[in-house]
């Protein structure tokens, strides 16, 4: 089953800012990685923040070295919602 990928406003803002800071090639590859979640979203582990496992929020890690980004998302019915895209070195999310 392929899920329909939707972007929350926060994720859209994150991606707009990121697009200005990275190469087009890297950004396109990030978007491809995000869209690949539509086919198999269960492949990713839950985000490590307390309560995210219970709330069903996994994360896709993208990048390498010091340039790793966390894509947090939620699967509900036939939709996959991208919640946020954040650099992995940023502090953990709260509630």
Write down the pTM of the prediction. Answer: 0.88
Domain regions of the chain by residue span: 4-87
Q: What is the mean pLDDT of residues 18-23?
A: 95
Range list of β-strands (E), the chain: 4-7, 59-64, 67-76, 79-87
Tokens of 45: 């582990």
CATH number among 2.40.40.20, 3.20.20.70, 1.10.287.3510, 3.30.2310.20, domain 4-87: 3.30.2310.20
- Tell me the pLDDT of the chain averaged across its residues: 92
As a dihedral over the C-alpha atoms of residue 56, residue 91, residue 64, residue 16, rounded to 10 degrees, the angle is: 80
In angstroms, what CA-CA distances link 76 with 20, 38, 41, 73? 31, 12, 11, 10
Asked if pLDDT for residue 28 goes beyond 60, the answer is yes
């Amino acid at each position: 089953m392929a899920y329909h990928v939707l972007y929350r406003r926060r994720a859209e803002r994150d991606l707009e800012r990121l697009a200005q800071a990275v190469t087009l090639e890297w950004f396109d590859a990030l978007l491809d990685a995000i869209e690949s979640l539509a086919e198999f979203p269960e492949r990713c582990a839950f985000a490590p923040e307390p309560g995210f496992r219970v709330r069903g929020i996994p994360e896709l890690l993208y990048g390498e070295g010091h340039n790793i980004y966390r894509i947090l998302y939620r699967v509900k019915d036939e939709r996959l919602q991208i919640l946020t895209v954040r650099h992995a070195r940023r502090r953990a999310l709260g509630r």
